[in-house]
Amino acid sequence: MMPKLLLQAAAAVADRRWYGSGGRRGYLPLRHPPHVAPGRFTACLLAVAAVTTTFALALTLHRPDLSSAAAYAASPRGGGGAGYAVVINTWKRYDLLRRSVAHYSGCGGVDAVHVVWSEPEEPTEELRGSVLNCSDGGGAGVRFVINAEDSLNNRFRPIQGLTTDAIFSVDDDLIVPCSTLRFAFAVWQSAPSAMVGFVPRMHWLADPGSNAKEYRYGSWWSVWWTGTYSMVLSKASFFHRQYLDLYTNRMLPSIRDYVNENRNCEDIAMSFLVANVTGSPPIWVQGGHTEVPFRDVTAGRIFEIGSSGISSLKGHDLQRSKCLNTFSAMYGHMPLVATRVKAVDSRTSWFW
């Protein structure tokens, strides 16, 4: 039984038109029109049941052969798979990694935990043992995904052996309580083509009255003040595993090159990719977010157990704004769609 949901607005999958050319046919998702302002919102709905959507990934940046695109159009509906895989991105924070693995491997619904490893040296046997032992006692299995090079793009590389459609991508320093994670998974199952996550962000036109389309990155305070967002960061979000293939094998290589050169914005690149495919906004799941010690995790709230990372560096927002403008230029338009969607678990909320 799916938990009772409050979806103030449903993330609709883009309309798709059946078309033919030269005897070859397929689905073509309609892109978000460039002239639509980011502040134009999806119509508000109240839903108590699941919203059924079709997951059709026919259009990518390379406009691939439609025979290949047809395979994406035939993808499972409604979020197949018995559970979800947790994919933890980590970098030289071994205590945090152990804590994260211990937590997520014990959550119900987690099929497996995959640790994305991009350090120059492979993990020591001691570290492997201590991490793998975190799942002792009937928890989900844990495995390392070893990458040959250090790249932020590694977190979106296809993973061999996945048995679920749903992926929960998370950084090693962020803990989402199991009950909150279970609710977010239910939301994703109702809209499996969307990104569903806990950390919303926004993009803004620097000068709405100008013909020049220059964008600014809006952090959490921008979202809090306006109630509007157009991205949920991959540091804590659900998405379909087929986006891993699209990101690694179909997205413009120049975008991945930019991420490698600047060591930033792989999460924005994924948000662009999903929005370009679906023409729809992501879904923000209310969960609370604060930085406190790991031992203080309580039901319903999300906690950071580390204090260092790329986002703590000086000039972070300026670099993120540069990413927005660079990626929109590469796409030829701004695919991100702004919304006021928020999913709330009514069992734990006083206000609907």
136 is catalytic: no
Which residues share a beta bridge with 18?
27
Rounded distance between C-alpha atoms, residue 130 and residue 110, angstroms: 20
The beta-strand segments (E) located in 272-320 are 283-284, 289-291, 302-304
Pairing of strands 16-21, 236-240: unpaired
The beta-strand segments (E) located in 30-163 are 84-89, 110-117, 141-146
SS3 category, 294 = helix
Which residues share a beta bridge with 19?
26
Cα 153–Cα 158–Cα 161 angle in degrees, nearest 5: 145
Sign of CA dihedral 144, 145, 150, 155: negative
135 within 8 A of 105, measured Cβ to Cβ: yes
**Catalytic option among 267, 296, 317, 345:** 267
264 within 8 A of 320, measured Cβ to Cβ: yes
Pairing of strands 16-21, 84-89: unpaired
Catalytic positions are 267
